[in-house]
A and B are shown apart, each in its own frame.
Chain A
Amino acid sequence: MRPDDDRGEPELPPGPSAAKRALRAAMPWLAVLGLFVLWEVAVRAFRIPDYLLPAPLEIWSQTYALKAMVGMHTLATLETILYGFVMAAAISLPLAVLVTASPAIASAVYPLLVIVHSIPKVALAPVLVVALGANELPRIAITFLVCFFPLVISIAAGLLAVPAEYIEMCRACRASRLRELWRVRLPYAVPFIFSGLKVAITLAVVGAVVGEFVASEKGLGYLIQSSTAFFKTPLAFGAIVILAIIGIALFQAVVAIERAFFPWAVSDDRFRE
């Protein structure tokens, strides 16, 4: 028996205590809460009028009083965001595959993409309303246009980032291009696709609101415009807060989907050789 055999397993050094960990987890919430308290106190102390800067409690009570109407507008905006986003995702994936399939197609399609992307979507919005009619279509189209370009770019980058060795392995196995795409290129591009989706979902919120500013009779963008027109600033602020919450929630949803279905793409292990 070696002399140190009876020492047993070494103890782990103690980690941070439960209280410390709880505090760390609560920190972001406390910070936000602190900001709101400061805001509330400042507005009351300096007697800032409602129509300039409403206090948080005032925003809450005015928004809550109209909760049915606000809820309807929220759903309308959410619908626009999701339709536009899903459309962008559904179109950008095959487009990126096409662009990366051959240099000839890439050199034909890329300039078109860049041109479309360079046009400010706000400038395009009234034209789209004329073309597509006064319904939700132009709003969805604007949302789509705003978020699909970064998606195409990041997916194409992912499909092209596959290391040469992987492609050589596919060739050595005489894989068809479809199999190469399905077995190697697409899975490899997943982290790129998700970083594109994360950018796109936040832009989709922007696109939907822009669309609603230009032509709409419902949605949070419309609510902001109509309520500020009547100096109902607290309600406009309520809509802004809801937009922020929608943006955060949708972003986190994309993150959650990535974690759930593509856990290997989240960790950095994949870049370890």
Chain B
Amino acid sequence: MIQIDRVDQVFRARDGAGVVALRDVSLRVEANSFVCVVGPSGCGKSTLLRLIAGLIPCTRGSISVSGQRVDGPREEVGFVFQKPTLLPWASVLDNVLMPLKLMGRPTEGPRGRAMELLAMAGLAGFEQKLPGELSGGMQQRVAICRALIHDPPILLMDEPFGALDALTREEMSLELLRIWTERRKTIVFVTHSISEAVLLADQVVVMSARPGRIDRVIDVKVPRPRNFDQQGDPEFQRVSHTVRELIYANRKAAADAP
């Protein structure tokens, strides 16, 4: 479970002025639930994720993960970045094992687990390839396997499919749902895509920009297992519509503001 309690985040801009990235953000993410965060660019989605990961400290307020206050990176968290950020000199298998190496843990035992994860992601037989030999979608799948190698109960994903083409993206969304169904985790998933968010999430968190804050949290009651055919479902459409309305209303309000 992730508990975010009245968090403010202020960055110092290059000219020394403070920039408010997040204001008074509170959110509760239940264990093993799938939460998607959507919002316009610059609304602090990524910042929120980095705060939960403990990569940056929050200016005010507090965040706790499984009841413990976050004051630095934690082992029960796996992070998937927008870019695959695979190490180009290491094989696919070594890349998946990299977090363990960086943590200073043994990697001989978990090799089997890494192979299993890769097989689950449809990458069996690619273990010894270099990342450069893989397509963008495959690289991102490796990055997801890497985030899962130490079996973290929490997975934070920062627009992980943002750099992929639309078809690969849909395919990856379904793949992620399948993985999530097989090994339940708490997932916080940041995205620009409303349909992606509705397809994946138990709850969609809509954020607005400048300063970044949470607008509304919407429950998605579309039955699981989900697929893209459900896009025609009334519930799917209702949620998508609400999210879109919120985002555009905010934009318009921002544009109208003096």
The residues of A with any CB-CB pair to B shorter than 8 Å are 163, 165-166, 168-176, 179-180, 183-184, 187-188, 190, 262, 264-265, 267, 269-270, 272-273
Contacts of B22 in A (CB 8 A): none
CB < 8 Å neighbour of A166 from B72, B85, B132? B85
Task: Assess whether A176 is in contact with B104, with CB atoms less than 8 Å apart.
Answer: yes
Write the chain B residue with the least CB distance to A272: B132
- Encode B32-68 as 1/0 by CB contact (under 8 A) with A: 0000000000000000000001010000000000000
- Whether, in the assembled complex, B102 has its beta carbon less than 8 Å from a beta carbon of chain A, the answer is yes
- Whether, in the assembled complex, B167 has its beta carbon less than 8 Å from a beta carbon of chain A, the answer is no
Task: Assess whether B88 is in contact with A264, with CB atoms less than 8 Å apart.
Answer: yes
Q: Which of B74-82, B113-121, B209-217 contacts A (4 or more CB under 8 A)?
A: B74-82
CB distance from B255 to the nearest CB of A (A): 32
Task: Assess whether A273 is in contact with B130, with CB atoms less than 8 Å apart.
Answer: no
Task: Assess whether A175 is in contact with B102, with CB atoms less than 8 Å apart.
Answer: yes
Write the chain A residue with the least CB distance to B99: A173
Assuming A183-B102, A187-B89, is B77 touching A172 (CB within 8 A)? yes
Contacts of A187 in B (CB 8 A): 87, 89-90
CB < 8 Å neighbour of A265 from B73, B84, B89, B103? B89
Contacts of B83 in A (CB 8 A): 165, 273
Binding site of A, secondary structure by majority: helix, strand, loop or mixed? helix
- Encode B87-112 as 1/0 by CB contact (under 8 A) with A: 11110000000110111100000000
CB < 8 Å neighbour of A174 from B75, B84, B88, B90? B75
CB < 8 Å neighbour of B73 from A173, A267, A270, A272? A173
Binding site of B, secondary structure by majority: helix, strand, loop or mixed? loop
Contacts of B103 in A (CB 8 A): 173-175
Write the chain B residue with the least CB distance to A179: B102
How far apart sit A169 and B81, CA to CA, in the bound complex (Å)? 9
Sample of 11 further A-B pairs with CB below 8 A, known A264-B130, A273-B83: A165-B81, A168-B55, A169-B85, A172-B77, A175-B102, A183-B101, A184-B102, A187-B87, A187-B89, A187-B90, A265-B89
- Whether, in the assembled complex, B136 has its beta carbon less than 8 Å from a beta carbon of chain A, the answer is yes
Task: Assess whether A174 is in contact with B89, with CB atoms less than 8 Å apart.
Answer: no
Write the chain A residue with the least CB distance to B81: A165
Contacts of A183 in B (CB 8 A): 87, 98, 101-102
CB distance from B140 to the nearest CB of A (A): 10
- Whether, in the assembled complex, B163 has its beta carbon less than 8 Å from a beta carbon of chain A, the answer is yes
Contacts of B84 in A (CB 8 A): 273
In the complex, 27 of the A-B residue pairs with CB atoms within 8 angstroms, ordered by the A residue number, are: A163-B85, A165-B83, A166-B85, A166-B87, A169-B79, A169-B102, A170-B102, A171-B55, A172-B55, A173-B73, A173-B98, A173-B99, A173-B102, A174-B103, A175-B102, A175-B104, A184-B87, A187-B87, A187-B89, A187-B90, A264-B89, A264-B130, A269-B132, A269-B133, A270-B132, A273-B83, A273-B84
A173, A183, A187 interface centre (most CB from chain B within 10 Å): A173
Assuming A165-B85, A179-B101, A190-B89, is B130 touching A172 (CB within 8 A)? no
